[in-house]
Chain A
């Protein structure tokens, strides 16, 4: 397995401090895992984490957590939002923070980490240590090599491990594959939630719900906190209630606008129409939901379950309806319909049902079929886009005979590598048809439990199908299996086809097209406050900062945060990157280590200063806003990705008055930002929430400061490019300061 791994790493990132994994294994690399096989030809690591495929260690029945986290990680918009959450601290700051005290800062980090984990890290050191003891070759054992247990063991022994405790080290990992040890995350979870304290089997859906709510509350709490206190100081991590919150622990993100990103993704609105049978009056009540729990029937489909969910229900007898119109309890008819469709539809199949006879929950093994695509029939008449098309992207499967024990795994459709099975430490590519093995009628007690559908468009679906064709054809050409078919392209066998589905050029900017589409959805666009937007705005800033890290680009493997942006803008960036790199290299050398240490200490103080500056800047920008006006439109155009736009908008919202300046800044900044800077800053951490406030504000600042008057868009972009190096320095320093303070 390592064979593949090593070369890649060495190519990508010589600088990694982590010792290369000891190449104990046979040089020939007898076997590569199916996952590695699928990951071949992926090209260089992307920075956005979309090409990281990490298993997660199971600490004893923590599979509920692992599987849900994996599902969230591979929700592109969710991952982007987490990564772009305003704060990320540079590695140094993270280390400093860790050194200071916070054990628990990590908790947040964990979540993120894992989110990110996937992205980067390959904790080389750990792996090396482990490996030393282990015979490298997996396949020699007499054990059943096909058993998941064996494979997991092998994974733990041979893959790079990412320790969430030691972020700094872990994030340097450049491997695409590995194993995350989410222990800290679990620590926090358990500290904050009694329910999860035991090593007992837990309900994955409950965990999902708790997690989303926790993120929401943490993000909001953080926003409020920041609103009050301008300090950039990181809250004492250990005690903060938000510890669970992925993002929050770090210093606040300051913009309140960012708080709604979870809602934007998962939240929909249900409207319950109640018709009083006495006075015939119809009353409506709206309520929001993050996921839908549907009752199951034997031999039904998800479509049918959703329809039943909205079927009329009689309110009578003990359950009468209090009608305001007639006053008093009356019989009534009630229907629940979906009024606002979520972007990500999480469907919880209620397989655990309380049975009176047994006085306990019992698992239902009903056969419930779920299609790869879905539309909702149960929408209200006034729903926007009632024919929205969803595609299945993740399935959480419960294996076991009852609710109190068993195992969870997740089967997830990745952006461009097809369907993968995430079974704790084990990550394996699977056939598209494999997804259909969990309707509930197969032997083995494995049933789909939570389904994640994300919005898409018919065009995207058709394009994907066309790609599957191409890929399969290509695969067929190579594959030996096809031999029978005479190599005839038309006759690749099924399996081949399936795998092919995953094919996508790694660097292709189109990768994200689905996302952009999503953004196009009416709801999204208007938006407001996506965390993403913040992040995007920030990113520009960061790029500047990171220069020290930039040089690393070649060697620095950890391009995480920035990568996202970079992905988005990949084209533009590439060109710029080169320039930046050179500049960065110079700087890098100077700054590198000395700076890290020093900065780390001073960062926090600086951050405060910066915050003040930002405020001023913002004000100034507001004043300027009128002038800037013309720019708004143009910057947007320039940004290829929709979310950039959003972000810019959201920024504007925050500032409320000075949309324009910001927008221009955000647009400009991101493009110029070289990956490198971002990498450095980001690598460590998305999880580290410390720095944040400044981050948001910074983007604005720089734009103003650097670009004197916001000229017409075109100008700006040019200017920014030219000035990049200069800017980057400044930014970088700013960010560092923030972080350090």
Chain B
């Protein structure tokens, strides 16, 4: 006993954290951070990482490693990180890539049976429609006001343009693909068809905020104009036009919402409006042309809507008469982070996934939540629509990719194959037809998985079968319109009977709309057709192009696989 006592008297042990130097230099998210500005590196792995599937073998063409920028000089280097520090670390989502090509041949095939007839967002609101000054000339787009190169903003640290960028732009294949990618506090503009594709055309360095997401407006792109919006970890949004190096700030200093922007997308078909999701569970529609203003919630002007019916708080409706300033509309879904969202091909619906594990289907034109589904467990991270709009695919923290039927409003199958969280899902429209679908998924397990499913196959385990007629009903929308406040006007784009709708008016959550979790035993399970570890760090983005599959990873590897010959019609 005396010995013990002696031990007890001993002074406390030496400092508890022994931190290797290697770690000390690490950024908050575990990436090695260089001290000086470095260049992108491209490698061509020999025979590396073939993806073998039925149609042939996808060969890894190259692996472009984006240079992680050094910390901004104003940031104190982290010498001895306290692993228990309670200071929240900045959110990160890894490298995301936005691709744009002017070549119409590279457009993905569409499977919609009819032309998109969705009305523009906010149609019928005179206040909103008014300001649209006629674009004089299609090629003469309005540009943002400020020159980013000469910017004196403390938000932008500096801009590095390639010495020969002007020449490169002139000489390039006009139908080539541009890529925009964020890494850490840098935002790079790359020309993927260039022979020196690893050399950026422009690199914008921000001071503190990191860009987390970005999107290019498909309807305004020309050879001399690209509208890009990007959302940052500070909540600020940048509208950037790379050709002229002009930019504008929206939600400056988080005046409208100071929570990080988790995803951003131009409204389909709109030249000015884009939708941003914030980490505090808010979806905001902004107009790139409008000024910010302090945001005051506008109490619901829609008495006919029962707010408790489904969790959507309309803090500002698109129908508000007050449309001189941003935001155009602002909806609060929950207090949980909105992880991702995706617009349906028919441009009427929106699928939103949240950290609380819910998948919410919205008719965003009417500002309504239609259905809520739940993950098997854990948060949902990513979502996308099949090219024909019939299916929605999500990925989440249950390591599952889940297929949902939009017309039937139910789960179709759970896809098991990832060894960690699923960070991105995407359909391959070039491998889809009316009956079979190809999609891919990537995850924190560094894997790329490809999946095939066909209607017949999926439904084998379960009794119900969808009918084509039903599908159509979701896609063909009879002249919907305007006074879309009225549910009665909602036309045939919903499957539910009117009785269901009326039911929605009273009481709490619509039992029809909030779907329970299906037990494992009753749900079809789909295996992948291909699973491959593609790198050594978590993969966070996946894109399908006509001639290739691309992925990007947390540390900045952008990998490109060429499709097997003739695999795409």
Contacts and interface: CB of A to CB of B under 8 A. Distances in A.
Interface of A: 58-61, 146-148, 183, 186-187, 190-191, 197-199, 297, 299-301, 303-304, 367, 369, 371-375, 377, 386-387, 389, 399-401, 405-407, 409, 421, 423, 428, 430-431, 433-434, 437-438, 441-446, 458, 465, 468-469, 472-473, 484-486, 488-495, 497, 500
Given A371-B377, A387-B517, A493-B259, A303 B12 contact: no
Contacts of A59: 8
Nearest to B86: A430
A443 B24 contact: yes
A465 B334 contact: yes
Which 3 pairs across A and B sit closest by C-beta, in order of nearness?
Answer: A444-B83, A446-B83, A371-B378
B7 A147 contact: no
B320 to A, nearest CB: 14
A299 B83 contact: no
Contacts of A367: 30, 444, 538
Interface string B312-343: 01010000000000000010101111000000
A465 B337 CA distance: 11
Given A187-B4, A443-B24, A485-B295, A369 B420 contact: yes
Contacts of A458: 374, 516-517
Contacts of B334: 465, 469
B419 to A, nearest CB: 4
B258 A491 contact: yes
A622 to B, nearest CB: 44
A66 to B, nearest CB: 13
Nearest to B7: A199
Contacts of A485: 254, 256-258, 295
Contacts of B379: 371-372
B239 interface: no
Contacts of A446: 83-84
Interface stretch (B15-23, B94-102, B193-201): B15-23
A400 B282 CA distance: 39
B10 interface: yes
Nearest to A152: B12
A211 B88 CA distance: 34
Given A187-B4, A400-B18, A473-B335, A374 B377 contact: yes
A485 B293 CA distance: 11
B280 A494 contact: yes
A395 to B, nearest CB: 12
Contact of A421 (B78, B86, B357): B86
Contact of A469 (B3, B82, B260, B335): B335
5 contacts: A146-B82, A301-B445, A428-B86, A431-B88, A491-B258
A148 B315 CA distance: 42
B81 A444 contact: yes
Contacts of B24: 443
A497 B280 contact: yes
Given A443-B78, A486-B295, A406 B16 contact: yes
A465 B336 contact: yes
B105 interface: no
Contact of B520 (A199, A386, A492, A500): A386
A445 B330 contact: no
Contact of B397 (A60, A371, A407, A489): A371
B378 A299 contact: no
Interface in B390-416: 397-399, 416
B397 A468 contact: no
A489 B88 contact: no
A399 B335 contact: no
A458 B249 CA distance: 41
Contact of A198 (B7, B83, B378): B7
B398 A491 contact: no
B374 to A, nearest CB: 7
A473 B313 CA distance: 13
Given A297-B419, A387-B520, A401 B295 contact: no
A502 to B, nearest CB: 13
Contacts of A369: 397, 420-421, 444
Contact of B19 (A297, A387, A423, A445): A445
B259 A372 contact: no
Contacts of A199: 7-8, 10, 13
A218 B23 CA distance: 45
A187 B399 CA distance: 45
Contacts of A497: 280, 335-336
B427 interface: no
A301 B296 contact: no
A304 B83 contact: no
Contacts of A191: 1, 4
Contacts of A399: 16-17, 83-84
B212 interface: no
Given A191-B4, A299-B537, A491-B257, 15 more contacts: A197-B3, A198-B7, A387-B519, A387-B521, A399-B17, A421-B86, A438-B83, A442-B81, A443-B30, A445-B19, A469-B281, A484-B253, A490-B282, A491-B278, A494-B279
